[in-house]
Amino acid sequence: GFLIYSVNRCQFNSTELKDIEYTFSYYYNKLEIFRFSSSLGHYVGYTEYGVKQAKYFNDQPAVVAQRRAQKETYCQNNIGIWYKNI
């Protein structure tokens, strides 16, 4: 069989928005195909297929804007909860 999965990741060292990096990665059979990074602000492909997918997503401003917003809506809103558990 084949394994497809995605990972939403928040890396931070404070609760300040400037200190947070949001990353969305898409994997196929343990190989990262493409990624969105909030520090870059767009998708990057790591395979031939991933490069095509990254271009497809980057050509859609609404999709890119939604991922950019995840830094605040997904990461910053949950960091307070995560800090309490550390």
Residue pair 59/50 in contact by the 8 Å Cβ criterion: no
Residue pair 33/45 in contact by the 8 Å Cβ criterion: yes
* Domain residue extents for the chain: 4-85
In 17-73 the beta strands, taken as DSSP E runs, fall at 20-28, 31-37, 42-45
Q: What is the rounded CA–CA span in Å between residue 44 and residue 37?
A: 8
Burial class (CB in 10 A: 0-12, 13-18, 19+), 67: buried
Q: 24-67 pLDDT, tens per residue?
A: 999 999 999 999 999 999 999 999 999 999 999 999 999 999 99
CATH architecture for segment(s) 4-85: Roll (3.10)
Q: 60-86 pLDDT, tens per residue?
A: 999 999 999 998 888 888 877 766 666
End-to-end CA distance of the chain: 37
